[in-house]
Amino acid sequence: MDRIRIDDGHAAKGELSARPEAARVARGMLEPVGERVRGDVLERAKLLVTEVVANSVVHGDTRDPIRVQVEARPKALRVQVSDTGPAFEPDVRHPRESSESGWGLFLVETLADRWGVRPSDDDVTVWFELDL
């Protein structure tokens, strides 16, 4: 079961069930901050959160929720996606045009202004920022 909390249009937090529909739910979490960001930034954020959450569904432990945090800061939109999958070092490769997978981190690298991977003892977080 998904649990989402919206904080007055500045931020949203959610725990999403690790299933394919989680990407759609995560995109919806961006709507409340949409009034604070330009349309092009919001569209990039929707694409990137879709890719990162989809990676969490594929590579994380599906028994545990995917945690998504969205925050509209004064100069950037920050999104964090955490799951209990294995830690990894980002290895961004350009996928083949005909490839149906492998685009997630490539798109994050290409479209985010800043991004990274932060492992901990309990989980791994992929975060990105888009300048406002």
Q: How many CA atoms lie within 13 A of 88 on its CB side?
A: 15
Q: In degrees rounded to 5, what are phi and psi of residue 61?
A: -85, 115
Q: What's the burial of 99, exposed, middle or buried (CB within 10 Å: 0-12/13-18/19+)? A: exposed
Q: Tell me the whole-structure pTM to 2 decimals.
A: 0.90
* Percent of residues, the chain, with pLDDT higher than 90: 67
Mean pLDDT score, 43-57: 96
E strand intervals along 10-123 = 11-16, 66-72, 76-83, 114-119
Q: What is d(CA 113, CA 126) in angstroms, rounded to the nearest whole number? A: 14
Query: For the domain 3-131, what is the CATH superfamily, name and number?
Result: Histidine kinase-like ATPase, C-terminal domain (3.30.565.10)
